[in-house]
Structure 1
Amino acid sequence: MEEKISVERNELHAPDFGEALRFWFVLGWISFGGTTGHITLMHDFLVDRKKWVSNKKFFQALNACMLLPGPEAHQLTIYLGWKLHGLKGGILAGLFFILPSLLIIFGLSLLYVYFGNSTFLVALFSGLKPAVLAIILFATYKVGQKSLQSKWHYLVALMAFLLSYFVGVPMPWIILAVIIGGFGLYFLTSKEINLKSDQGEAEDAEGDYPVNSLEKVPPISIPKIGLQLLIFFLLWLCPFTVLYLFMPDSAFWKELSFLFTKSAYLTIGGSYTVIPYVAGLVTENFLWLTKTQMIDGFALAETTPGPLVIVLTYVGFMAGFNHFDHSYVMASVGLMATAYFTFLPNFALIFVGAPLIERSQKNKAVQYVLSLVTAAVVGVIVNLACYLGQGILFPNGFGLLELDWKALLWVAVSLFLLYGYRIGMLQLILLSLLYGGLLYLLS
């Protein structure tokens, strides 16, 4: 009887699909500030204001997305859209979240290749890129505060940085080693490991939410999972076949398709692990972009709403542009193909993997390993900061005489504004562009 009443209440409070659709659409245009900003906006609207999702369920969903490869903010959007309105809700929420930033980065990429050598644009980037470095350093501080809980977490973060920056070990292998070693460490320790929780574990009583923590997890269906995997494989295979058979230089399109598919499936920890992994390959192995172009693309991506991983579509644009002798058509195809192969896995991982991971929410071993993976992400973010910092602060090589003092000054000012005044990301970007404009006038 109580179960029947609960169902009726959920139906009574079920959110309107049109209203949810409008929220996902608006979110795609206003979600500045990286993953933290995205999650804050979603929590404020879905949990605090509309009460469509319980607080505990929201963070359980976030934890599930953190266990999966790829950008967790986009996956969380798909996950919550799916929990609220099924398959159509998940697909449309995921599409609306990335389309605005995709359109903006496409326009910015066109402007970049057309005006890239102008002194004015170079000056604007000279103000914007130091702010991007400050944003990453501040993100390292914020993530480290919450995730480095013990000596093992500090050790994992340090080893992840050393292996990635100095040895050049690819990110997927580092994460895989952390997962294997984390389970071994958990089962070998004699003391019970207690993890800090930011999700309010004392919140035992759940209100009447359409999506709450008391919902039963649906049973696992092997035939259903097999069918889903087949559908997603066909969705991947069809555009790959078209690019490989009908586009010039099939080897290039094969490398591009496999690179961005692999990066989506093998990089746990979100955008900050995907970007350095891809940046190293496209600038050093494939030679599709110069290091300066990669850093400029990262700065462009920071000016757009949506997930930071959208910078990969800029990489696809520049790869097509450079490889095919400055062809705007091939650059556009490169951007669209990169977007497709980068974001399709997120839908597959949520629709197939999220229901399975829901079953591991209370598993202490899984949660401990997840905490170690998050610690490794701190080391990876430091690696990204060093990669970008070298090009921003020492554009002509290491040495005190080679240091760009104007860039260092703006890094310090940006960190002061971020830490001391909690300035918003969009405001910092606008101030940085003004600083670049001032440098242009002074020069």
Structure 2
Amino acid sequence: MTDVAIERGDRPQTALPGYPTLSEAARVWARIAALSFGGPAGQIAVMHRILVEEKRWLGDGRFLHALNFCMLLPGPEAQQLATYIGWLMHGVRGALVAGLLFIAPGVLAIMALSWVYAAFGDVGIVSGLFLGLKAAVLAIVVQAVVRVGGRALKNPAMQAIAAASFVAIFAFGVPFPAIVLAAALVGWAGARAGHAAFRAGGGHGAVGKTHVEDSATLLGEETTFGGRAAMSGAFRAGVGALVLWLLPVGALMLLAPGSVFADIATFFSKLAVLTFGGAYAVLAWVAQEAVGTYGWLAPGEMLDGLGMAETTPGPLIMVLQFVGFMGAFREAGWAAPLVAGTLGGLLATWVTFAPCFAWIFLGAPWMEKLRKNAALASALSAVTAAVVGVILNLAIWFAVHVVWQEVVRVEAGPLSMELPVPGAVDWAAAALTGLALLAVFRLKLGMATVLGGAALLGVALHLAGLA
């Protein structure tokens, strides 16, 4: 590919590469999908490296504006970011290609692993393997808190938002949507009032500064979108996505009320509307409902599912497919439970991702008209700070259920929290978690190495009779 000069002024710039066809873009999206390990931070970094630095299809400004919008939406921000950029480049068809390719490897991988888990999950070696994965996932979640916090909490105002969000969700059980809304309002009001802490509208430096200028890219800063034809096409596609999402949900509620499939359709549809901040931010709610309300999973099994999602390409929210699979596998009452589980997992995936396309098609054209809105940028920065507090809550929730075998709920007025029983430490899990934290923070080992090594250690502890 021809190099693109980034200097401004009178210096000559080399020619931009030709605009990619949809088939050429599809090959790039397939490559991104195959490399999309490591949760949203890793996936966004891969997209930035390939689309911004390597291909020069868009610059930092356009990329981060799209990311800011996707961070505010319910659902997986990395998949929605791919869909948004696909729309920018090739309209509705480009959005479908990018968004569907992004999730395809994860759908296939999680389904295969769900079959293995349902058939062999109680076998000792498999249990030992997932014990190691749980410990590694806990270390990765702690790393996510540190990384996101380091980028988002640049001043005392953002730090206060993160602390308040953590206390609200950990100690008082405030719903995450309420936390997001409050943070967005604080950021918007701070920007409108001219406070210095909100003036920059930063906090989304998820991918770092690369000095790739928008004027030296195919989709430069001055490239305009949202014309009447584009708006109309995106609106029709958004309505179509809403219909494809809600039609099977309504049919199940009418034809099979009270069934596990109706419960899966309605519960995960509710998540699609009310969950913000990506997989890390919503898994505590998913676990609470799937474990406590519906009885589809045990607490440890939720971590097993997250371990699967961490070790396979695609969004971490693909863990919901595992939850839907296990719920239908156990609750459908069919003579062929694996078939029921497969349908339950695919249903959970459908109602999780169909709304994601709707949000992008209905919202992206309008967001293109708001790229210069400083108050909106500040609101998004405050939301990111709030997400840090929620991720910290998730890390503590994971630690409680991985390292301790028993927990107790403490309630006093509005206060409600789960605390570990001091004498119920699982020492094998604690040792594996300590090693995983050492590998992540001290040795700086890659995610695949940490997950694979922890899984092997879990198997070794089982074979030695220590786990």
State whether TM-score is above 0.5.
Answer: yes
> Counterparts of 1:207-222 in structure 2 under 5 Å?
207-219=215-227
Aligned to 1:276: 284
Aligned to 1:239: 248
The CA distance in 2 between the partners of 1:26 and 1:206, in whole Å, is 23
What is the one-letter code of the residue matched to 2:294?
F
What is the one-letter code of the residue matched to 1:408?
A
The CA distance in 2 between the partners of 1:165 and 1:284, in whole Å, is 17
The CA distance in 2 between the partners of 1:184 and 1:273, in whole Å, is 24
The CA distance in 1 between the partners of 2:173 and 2:213, in whole Å, is 48
The alpha-carbon distance between structure 1 residues 21 and 230, as it changes in their structure 2 partners (threshold 3 A), is closer
Unaligned runs of 5+ in 2: 1-14, 408-419
**Would you say the 8 A contact 2:287–2:302 is kept in 1?**
yes
Q: CA deviation at 1:111?
A: 1.0
**Would you say the 8 A contact 1:289–1:318 is kept in 2?**
yes
The CA distance in 2 between the partners of 1:296 and 1:190, in whole Å, is 44
The CA distance in 1 between the partners of 2:26 and 2:237, in whole Å, is 24
TM-score normalised by the chain length of structure 1: 0.90
Superposed CA deviations along residues 284-304 of structure 1, whole A, max 9, x for unmatched, are 223332222222211222111
- 1:104 and 2:114 equivalent? no
Aligned to 2:135: 130
SS at match of 2:199: coil
Q: Structure 1 residue aligned with 2:118, among 110, 113, 119?
A: 113
- Tell me how large the CA RMSD over aligned residues is: 2.5
**Would you say the 8 A contact 2:201–2:380 is kept in 1?**
no
What is the one-letter code of the residue matched to 1:96?
L
**Would you say the 8 A contact 1:275–1:312 is kept in 2?**
no
Q: CA deviation at 1:158?
A: 1.5
SS at match of 2:423: helix
What is the one-letter code of the residue matched to 1:235?
L
> Counterparts of 1:139-218 in structure 2 under 5 Å?
139-188=144-193, 191=196, 193-196=199-202, 198=205, 206-218=214-226
- 1:318 and 2:326 equivalent? yes
Corresponding pairs, count: 433
Aligned to 2:22: 17
Aligned to 2:11: none
TM-score normalised by the chain length of structure 2: 0.86
Moved more, 25-34 or 235-244: 235-244
- 1:230 and 2:230 equivalent? no
- 1:421 and 2:431 equivalent? no
Q: Structure 2 residue aligned with 1:359, among 357, 361, 369?
A: 369
The CA distance in 1 between the partners of 2:438 and 2:300, in whole Å, is 26
SS at match of 1:402: coil
The CA distance in 2 between the partners of 1:103 and 1:426, in whole Å, is 19
Q: CA deviation at 1:228?
A: 4.3
Superposed CA deviations along residues 44-82 of structure 1, whole A, max 9, x for unmatched, are 222222222223322222222222221111011111222
Superposed CA deviations along residues 123-159 of structure 1, whole A, max 9, x for unmatched, are 1112111110000000000000010122221222122
Moved more, 306-315 or 280-289: 280-289
Q: CA deviation at 1:402?
A: 1.5
- Percent identity of paired positions between Structure 1 and Structure 2: 35
Aligned to 1:404: 426
SS at match of 2:289: helix
Q: CA deviation at 1:341?
A: 0.5
Aligned to 1:92: 97
Aligned to 1:393: 403
The alpha-carbon distance between structure 1 residues 201 and 304, as it changes in their structure 2 partners (threshold 3 A), is closer
The CA distance in 2 between the partners of 1:169 and 1:91, in whole Å, is 35
The CA distance in 1 between the partners of 2:312 and 2:227, in whole Å, is 40
SS at match of 1:31: coil
